Amino acid sequence: MGYPENILAEGEHVVVHRHPHWKALVVPTIGFLVVTALAGVAAGFTGSSQLSSSTRSVLWIVIAVVWAVVVVWFFLRPLVSWRTTHFVLTDRRVTFRNGILTRSGIDIPLQRINSVEFRHGLLDRMLRTGTLIIESASDDPLAFHDIPQVEKVHALLYHEVFDTEVDPGRRAR
């Protein structure tokens, strides 16, 4: 599912649009490979066993159903969730949307942002990702985790906030 461009106001332009970093999919992918290998081994043992053909068929169906349930829950669900999570910076606001069946989101107008910071450890620095923390006028700071190229997004957000405060008419397009 792509970002819904129809939620933008007239004249509003997207500066940055990001999904969470791909590292969020590493564990589900490894899980998929392990479960598939285990299902293959179980199916191989079932096929080479001295069971009756009807028992063997039932076991193959059980293996296939268990494999499908595990793959859907631990691989496809995180993949779809990753794909439907959007962090968007426009020239007027920061928008975060996530969810598969039930959606949730938050919009922060640039004028209400007091401070912007980022954090990332050694692994995050190597993967060029991190956590972006936005403090707005009346709310507790909001942390957005696994933002790809977090330093670039931080700089762009800072410049959008600074440019809006210095010359509000300059951003109107």
Query: Does 61 have pLDDT greater than 70?
Result: yes
Residues 6+ apart with CB under 8 A from 155: none
Q: Give the Cα separation of 112 and 151 in Å (integer).
A: 21
pLDDT band at 171 (very low <50, low <70, confident <90, very high): very low
Q: Give the Cα separation of 169 and 22 in Å (integer).
A: 37
pTM, to two decimals: 0.81
CATH topology of domain 13-20+86-166: PH-domain like (2.30.29)
Residues 6+ apart with CB under 8 A from 137: 112, 113, 114
- Amino acid identity for residue 119 in this structure: R
Question: Where do we find the tokens 């649009």?
Answer: 17
The percentage of residues in the chain with a pLDDT greater than 90, rounded to a whole number, is 75
Residues 6+ apart with CB under 8 A from 56: 46, 47, 49
Region 66-86 average pLDDT: 96
Phi, psi of 3, deg, nearest 5: -70, 130
